[in-house]
Amino acid sequence: MRLSGAQLVVRALEDEGIPFTFGIPGTHNIELYDTLAESDRVYPVLVTDEQSASFMADAVWRASGKLGCVNAVPGAGLTHAMSGIAEAYMDGVAMLVLGCGIRRDTGKSYQLHDVDQLAMVRPVTKVALRPERGSDVYPMIREACRIARAGTPGPVFVEIPANLYLFTHDVALDRSAPHPAPAPAPSAEALERCAAILREAARPLLYLGAGAMNADVVALAEMLEAPVATTFQGKGVFPESHPLALWPGFGDAAPPFARAIARECDATLAIGCRFGEVATASYGVKPPRPVIHVDINGDVLGRNVATDVAIAADAGAFVRALLPLLTHRPLDTTLRTRIRDGHAAVQRGWHDAASRTGVTPAILLDGLQRRFGPMTIFTTDSGNGTFLAVECLRLEQPRHLLGPIDYSCMGYAIPAAIGAKLACPDAPVVALAGDGAFLMTGLELLTAANEGAGIVALVLRDRELAQISQFQSVALNRKTCSVLPDYDLAALAAGVGLDCVRLDRDADIEQVLDRVAAMTDEGRPVVVDVAIDYREKTFFTRGVVKTNLGRLPWPDRLRFLTRALLRRVGVG
């Protein structure tokens, strides 16, 4: 049969079950967009900026497990999208980046948008490919999608030269799905070593990342009667209402009760995690030894934490094989009571420190969960919003907190909320956007309005770049370039046809959220101007400052402390 390059691409997207493409059309991919208009299975979403396109595609995967697609024109379209591509790469998010290339059949130089796109994206993608012939287009996209999902998920890039879109090609399509590579399985020897360590431990600690999402970790925790800590991305992998749910973290950035319980453990079983900088609050954790580390990607094993047993394996397969080797431990009522009382004390502390002049983050997040329910998907932005959500929300399952973690890219929350809402239309979606991050991608609310994506966009307004401002004030006693110029959020919302509701104090939370819910029930996005009070610092902020100060040599530590003290008393 003869098919154009555009038809081949769309058939590949359809056969991969890709529901959306996100991007802005240009001269090089005009044929592709024309063909997408005829598809009843792949919907092209017009965005205002390609950075947002990559955040939306990212959120489709995180929220639903379906592959999202960035549809980028050459040159600036791709470079605009690269922040979100790099975020997906560092956070282990599968994504198809469908790049368009210049014509390669003319022999001409200095073409429009002509840059080496493959060289640009190779450092932040699992693979970067370019078909040379029309017959390569369809199988190459299918194979790229398989690679995106395999092992540690990540973004893949396929550049389609514009001439392949323009012309038709003789092809014979094999539309069967590529066979996925078998996931690595644990060896019998490694399993027995792991089981022996866990059997001998009086109280092991479970530490779970997003890679443990498909493993029966509840059965494992109850078999071991082990407290469970998670990474930021692993939040919700273990239900946080469970009496063994300790905290998202266990080092200096955790509350005292969680640190104390973790210190008493005498082994660590870490599954589906990397011990990265953000998850460990600047490497401020010391896993109880011996350490067993399990991850599908063998490259992460032993990189940041020395391991006693390192197992490259799929988390689900590992847990299934391990459980029969363990003995069910009796219920530890003392441990469970300490965890319950520790969480209650943290909650009391948040409420005792409630704001008198603004909105208390913990009370706001609790109100959001009560009003919108357990299926709510939250998206966050780089900085304080992410740390507050990680600490204050209580999630029962994964895929309900989407945030930029290891690349920590500002501007994520609003476009990610749109992607999540399109992928999961029945779930309430709440964006927690900092007022600085909102300035980067807030105009994407126009896309939300155009698509009828009824998200709640909370703009947490303290008129500062909150996380950096807090670090500056704690460590330096001075703020530089972290105080924002003010802006009229209601006017910006009105400019894209949306309502803006003010939330100025805790007493108004319930009433405001009822009003907001009524709007989103009608498919209308709504903006909430939140007078957030960040004076109570997160455990994360305090822990990071303590950890980084503590690892400085004493002369530098004294220099930092002296400078901060002198500034506090008005000297220097």
Band (531; pLDDT cuts 50, 70, 90): very high
Question: Model confidence over 6-48: pLDDT tens digits?
Answer: 999 999 999 999 999 999 999 899 999 999 999 999 999 999 9
One domain for residues 104 and 202: no
Band (457; pLDDT cuts 50, 70, 90): very high
CA distance 471 to 512: 31
Name the helix (H) or strand (E) containing 556.
helix 554-568
Range scoring the smallest mean pLDDT among 71-85, 177-191, 330-344: 177-191
Question: Model confidence over 272-281: pLDDT tens digits?
Answer: 999 999 999 9
- Domain with residue 450: its CATH number is 3.40.50.970
For 462, the domain range is 353-540
Domain presence at residue 559: no
Average pLDDT over residues 470-495: 84
pLDDT higher than 70, residue 238: yes
One domain for residues 158 and 202: no
From 298, 315, 338, the end of a domain falls on: 338
Task: Quote the Cα angle for 151-75-100, to 5°.
Answer: 60
CA distance 343 to 346: 5
One domain for residues 165 and 195: no
Domains: count for the chain: 3
One domain for residues 520 and 404: yes
pLDDT higher than 90, residue 111: no
Range scoring the smallest mean pLDDT among 76-80, 283-287, 440-444, 543-547: 543-547
pLDDT higher than 80, residue 568: no
**Choice between 40 and 572, residue whose per-residue pLDDT is larger:** 40
Range scoring the smallest mean pLDDT among 17-26, 117-126, 168-177, 253-262: 168-177
CA distance 278 to 274: 10
- Indicate the residue type of 414: I
Give this prediction's pTM.
0.94
Q: Report the candidate in 478, 466, 486, 468 with the shortest Cα–Cα distance to residue 535.
A: 466
pLDDT higher than 90, residue 546: no
From 314, 338, 362, the end of a domain falls on: 338
One domain for residues 16 and 97: yes
One domain for residues 127 and 254: no
Domain presence at residue 286: yes
Domain presence at residue 84: yes
Domain presence at residue 558: no
Domain presence at residue 557: no
Burial of 324 (0-12, 13-18, 19+ CB in 10 A): exposed
Question: Model confidence over 300-328: pLDDT tens digits?
Answer: 999 999 999 999 999 999 999 999 999 99
Angle, helix 315-322 to helix 217-224, in steps of 10 degrees: 40
Name the helix (H) or strand (E) containing 530.
strand 526-530
The β-bridge relationship of strands 456-460 and 526-530 is: parallel
CA distance 54 to 83: 8
Give the pLDDT of residue 485.
87
Mean pLDDT, the chain, integer: 94
One domain for residues 395 and 459: yes
Band (571; pLDDT cuts 50, 70, 90): low
Domain presence at residue 179: no
Give the pLDDT of residue 94.
98
Let me know how long the chain is: 572
Give the pLDDT of residue 177.
77
Residue 20 near residue 68 (C-beta atoms within 8 A): yes
From 304, 338, 372, the end of a domain falls on: 338
Give the pLDDT of residue 572.
53
Average pLDDT over residues 166-190: 85
Domain presence at residue 553: no
Give the pLDDT of residue 127.
98
Range scoring the smallest mean pLDDT among 10-19, 221-230, 476-485, 533-542: 476-485
Sign of CA dihedral 154, 60, 149, 159: negative
